[in-house]
Amino acid sequence: MSMAKKQAAPDQMSSLALAYMGDAIIEVYVREAVISGGAAKPHLLHALAVDYVSARAQSRFLHELMEEGFLTEDELSIVRRGRNAKSHSVPRNTDVQTYNFSTGFEALIGYLYFTGGKDRIEEIMKKMFVNHPVEGGENP
């Protein structure tokens, strides 16, 4: 789905723009997983989703991917680019380093989206749910 007529090449896009898109994509995957996990009450859905979309959770998962050697050198380069982006704001409930790593993860997902790497996004997100199964219902 692309509504923009002319879009910058992903290599030329701001890391924060990539992270912005990546955040939205991650949110869709997580919402789908928690809903298919059996939770029905909005409060529970939100609580389960936060376990995946918080800066702390994304940073932790990114570290796991890096420690396991799951990411390619090109992907690690995108992560570094996103991690080093200057956002000028950090949520109150996290520290700068954690926030920067989560931004790196989001930038990677955004970059993969814009470069047509939907299969790779799927692979990464499936790994997230294998490493951290959805609680509170059946897992997807």
Helices (H) and strands (E) in the chain, counts: 6, 0
Q: Report if residue 138 sits inside a domain.
A: no
Task: Name, in order, each residue with C-beta under 8 angstroms of 121's C-beta and a sequence gap of 6 or more.
Answer: 25, 29, 109, 112, 113
Specify if 117 maps to a domain.
Answer: yes
Question: What range defines the domain where residue 69 resides?
Answer: 25-131
Indicate the pTM of the whole model.
0.87
Contact 48, 138 (CB under 8 A): no
Residue type, 48: L
Is residue 129 within a helix (H) or strand (E), and if so which, with residue range? helix 118-131
- Residue 105 in any domain: the answer is yes
- Residue 76, C-beta contacts closer than 8 angstroms, at least 6 positions apart: 66
Per-residue pLDDT in tens (0 to 9) along the chain, 140 residues: 555 556 778 777 899 999 999 999 999 999 999 888 777 788 888 888 988 999 999 999 999 999 999 999 999 999 999 999 887 777 778 888 999 999 999 999 999 999 999 999 999 999 999 998 887 544 44
Q: Which amino acid would we find at residue 117?
A: G
Distance CA 96, CA 89 (A): 9
CATH number of the domain encompassing residue 99:
1.10.1520.10
Catalytic sites, residue numbers: 23
Query: Number of structural domains, the chain?
Result: 1
Q: What is the structure's pLDDT at 4?
A: 54
Q: How far is CA 40 from the centre of its chain?
A: 23
